[in-house]
Amino acid sequence: MQGGRPVKRSPTEGANPLRIVPLAAESLGVRSMATWVETPDVRILIDPGAALAPLRQGLSPHQQEILALESAWRKIRDRALKAEVLIITHYHYDHLNPDQVDLFQGKLLWLKDPTRTNRSQRMRARAFLDRLKNVKATWTWADGHTFHIGHTHIHFSEPTPHGPGGRLGTVIQVAIESRGRSFVYTSDIQGPFRDDQLAFILAHAPQCVYLDGPPLYLLGQHYSTTIFEKVLENLQEILATVDTVILDHHPLRVANWRSYFHRLTGTSRMVSAAEFLGHLERLLEANRRALYSDAVPM
């Protein structure tokens, strides 16, 4: 394997070839894409962070959001302790909490290369890595690399823009394959609006994709409708071959997110993280104003 340590595991342990558990997300009440992935070879936690929008609809987080964040953190911390490998796809604080580097004690980390993103992410990465030196962790840059642990293969894309315009720097996408099953996690692409993003997803022939779509609340403002049309086209292509698309994060910051995708076919196989888990959605940020007026029982 490249850049990692082999993990000793009984070959009979873990019957499920690829288990995917979203831990926190907009549909679960917080900003996050934290996801647990387990194969018979390795336990992986992707992007162990969660946050709240400091200001939305002119309002600061509601008490229900604060409670949801506390609950998300408990789940993320619990899984982080059990994980053998942690992945950081970029350095935004809804994907990483630099105040809790103890999570990484004794872990193997595959990190976004901070030299291949924008200045803001680079500075956040530097602060995080300074703190990481205080705990016993092993890390390596992941961009464009493939790692192998037993019969599990973990592929990382080259850096790709965090949304149109590149203002927010770059992220890396992740594909995890185990015993003929495949899962792709796009991180914060706000798309897919580029050919390289779509190509990475399709190249790994996944049964399940966890996709970050467009920030619908910025459509026609910071996010152009022309780019949104391209996203719909690409998403249709994904839905044609993928069994389950988990769509969450940026798009689920509006309550009527589904209506934006009504022209697509196969959307019955497109679910939020909450729906994927069999839970009811709790779109707290999208309903912040209503929460303050007690109009939405959640």
- The pair of three-digit structure tokens given for residue 158, joined into one six-digit string: 């080259």
Q: Which is nearer to Fe ion, 152 or 190 (CB)?
A: 190
Among 94, 177, 281, 285, binds Fe ion (CB under 5 A): 94
Compute the distance between CA of residue 199 and CA of residue 192 in angstroms, rounded to an integer: 10
**Rounded least distance, CB 90 to Fe ion, Å:** 6
Q: Does 281 bind Fe ion (CB under 5 A)?
A: no
**Applying CB under 5 A, which part among 9-17, 92-100, 139-147, 255-263 lies near Fe ion?**
92-100
Q: Which residues contact 33 (CB under 8 A, 6 or more apart)?
A: 22, 24, 25, 46, 47, 94, 95, 185, 187, 188, 210, 212, 248, 249
- The pair of three-digit structure tokens given for residue 187, joined into one six-digit string: 């991180």
Compute the distance between CA of residue 34 and CA of residue 186 in angstroms, rounded to an integer: 12
**Rounded least distance, CB 95 to Fe ion, Å:** 5
**Rounded least distance, CB 185 to Fe ion, Å:** 12
Compute the distance between CA of residue 251 and CA of residue 78 in angstroms, rounded to an integer: 27
Tell me how many residues contact Fe ion (CB under 5 A): 3
Q: Does 47 bind Fe ion (CB under 5 A)?
A: no
Candidates 162, 166, 93; CA nearest to 125 is 93
Q: Which is nearer to Fe ion, 65 or 188 (CB)?
A: 188
Contact, 39 vs 152, CB < 8 A?
A: yes
Q: Does 92 bind Fe ion (CB under 5 A)?
A: yes
Compute the distance between CA of residue 286 and CA of residue 254 in angstroms, rounded to an integer: 5
Q: Nearest 5°: CA angle at 68, between 66 and 72?
A: 115
- Encoded one letter per residue, x for contact with Fe ion by CB under 5 A and - for no contact, window 148-187 reads ----------------------------------------
**Rounded least distance, CB 94 to Fe ion, Å:** 4
What residues pair up with 146 in beta bridges, in sequence order? 155
Compute the distance between CA of residue 154 and CA of residue 99 in angstroms, rounded to an integer: 27
Q: Which is nearer to Fe ion, 169 or 206 (CB)?
A: 169
**Rounded least distance, CB 92 to Fe ion, Å:** 3
**Rounded least distance, CB 23 to Fe ion, Å:** 14
**Rounded least distance, CB 167 to Fe ion, Å:** 11
**Applying CB under 5 A, which part among 101-109, 148-156, 188-196, 254-262 lies near Fe ion?**
188-196
Q: Does 188 bind Fe ion (CB under 5 A)?
A: yes
Residue numbers at the binding site for Fe ion (CB under 5 A): 92, 94, 188
